[in-house]
Amino acid sequence: MPSKVNQMILTEAVLKYLSGFPAHLEWHQRGLTGHHKKDHANQEYQEAVILMNEFLGSREGQLKISDFSTEVLSVCQELKKRSKDFIRVYLGPKKFYFIVGAMRSGGTYLFTECCKAHHIDYTQMNLQMVHDGVPSYANLVFWQQPPYYEKLLIELAQWLVWVKNVFTHHDVIVHKRIGLAHALPLWDHLFGDQAHYLVTLRHPLTSSESFARMEKLSTQNEKLASPLLWEKFIPAKLGIKNSEWLKKNYFERFLDYWFISYKDIISASPYKGHLAFIPYEKLSDYVLNELKVSDSSPFMITPYEPNPSWPHPDHVNKLFAVLNQLGTLMNLSFPKEMPLC
C-alpha cells in the first residue's frame, strides 16, 4: 500500500491519515493489548480500505499526497543536516514522551495512561503513528547503515509532519516504539532535552511467555521460535555466528533480544533528554505518583510459576549482572534482579 511520490515512499500509516481512514477501526482490528488481534479484517474495515484507495487515486487525494510529500522532503533535508535545534524550531517547545523497553513489559499500559495524563485521545489517531508502527523496526535497528539511515530519516520526517498537523493544540506528544531502543543516540541528538524516554522493565522470562502467547509462537520448534528480523541483527550484536544462534530455543533467543534491547539503551548514555527506568511491578505507582493520573485503569499483575523449559537461573542472573555493571559505568541504575511477574 505504500505510495511512491518523487522517489519517496509514503508509509501506509501516512496514507491512512491523508485519506481520513477511521482510526477506531485500526484499534479495534488490533485490540489494545495485542492479545486479541483479528486474523481477518471485518466488513467495515474492508469497506474503509476500498474508500481509502479510491480517495488516494482521486485528484483531491493526489493533491494531498503531493502537498504532504513536499513538506516531508523539506523536513528530510533539514534532518540530514543533523541540526540539534531543527525539531524545536519546526514544532516549537513541545515535550516528547517516547515509551521504549522490550516487548511485553507494560509499554502499552504506560502509553494509554500517559495519553490520559496529557489529555490525548489516542483512539482518534492512526495506530501506527503512535503505537509500534512508524518508523519501521528494521530501519531503527540498522540505522547506522547508509541505506537504512536514509529510509529512517524519510520515515521520521513523515512522522514529524504528521505531528505538526495533528498535535497543533497539544504541548506533549506520546509515542510508543520499542524499536527506538536501538536508535536512541540519533533520537537524543535530534530531540535533545525535549525528549523523555520512559523505559519499561520486566523479567525477560515472563515477558517471553507473554510474547509467545500473543504471537502464538512455538516454544518447541526452533525454526519457528522467533521473529525473522531477530536473526538478522541479534547474532551480530552478540558477536556470534547465525548458525550458532539458530541452535538456541525460543526462550534463549528471547533472552538475547531482551539483553540487546537494554544494552543498547544503557550504552546510549549520557542523554541530553530525560530517561527513567520503570519496573513492571511499579507501573501503577508511577502512573499515580509521577503522571498524576488519579483515575488510572487497573494494572493487573499475575505471578508466574517457573517453566521447566526456561534457561538455567544462572544464565539469567549473569545477564542482569552485566547490564547492572554497564549501567553503573554509565551512571544509570539498572536492577540486579526482577520479580517473576
CATH number at residue 291: 3.40.50
Residue-wise pLDDT tens digits, 73-132: 999 999 999 888 999 999 999 999 999 999 999 999 999 999 999 999 999 999 999 999
Dihedral in degrees, nearest 10, Cα atoms 123, 124, 129, 131: -10
The answer as to whether 239 is a domain residue is yes
pTM of the model: 0.94
Name the DSSP class of 338. -
Establish if 323 belongs to a structural domain. Answer: yes
Average pLDDT over residues 14-36: 85
Is the predicted pLDDT of residue 224 greater than 50, yes or no?
A: yes
Q: Is the pLDDT assigned to residue 40 strictly greater than 70?
A: no
What three-state secondary structure class fits 10? strand
Q: Is residue 334 part of a domain?
A: no
With respect to residue 111, please indicate whether it lies within any of the assigned structural domains: yes
Looking at residue 223, its pLDDT comes to 62
In terms of residue numbers, what domain contains 305? 84-120+170-329
User: Per-residue confidence at 7, pLDDT binned at 50, 70, 90?
Assistant: very low
Going by C-alpha positions, the residue among 127, 96, 98 that lies closest to residue 34 is 127
**What pLDDT, on the 0 to 100 scale, is given for residue 34?**
60
Residues 79, 153 contacting (CB under 8 angstroms): yes
Q: Read off the pLDDT of each residue in 302-323 and give the average, rounded to a whole number.
A: 91
* Residue 37 dihedral angles phi and psi, to the nearest 5°: -65, 140
Q: What is the mean pLDDT of the chain?
A: 92
Stronger pLDDT, 239 or 36, i.e. the higher one: 239
Report pLDDT for 65.
96
Residue 176 lies in a domain: yes
pLDDT in tens, 313-327: 999 999 999 999 999
Q: Does a structural domain hold residue 65?
A: no
Is residue 226 pLDDT above 50, yes or no?
Answer: yes
Q: How far, in Å, CA of 141 to CA of 143, rounded? A: 6
Query: Number of structural domains, the chain?
Result: 1
CB contact set of 284 (below 8 Å; sequence gap of 6+) = 296, 298, 299
Residues 262, 35: Cα–Cα separation, whole Å: 24
Tell me if 2 sits within 8 A of 10, measured CB to CB: yes
Does the pLDDT value for residue 1 go beyond 70? no
Beta-carbon-side half-sphere exposure of residue 55 (alpha carbons within 13 Å): 15
Domain assignment present for 190: yes
Q: Is residue 161 assigned to a domain?
A: no
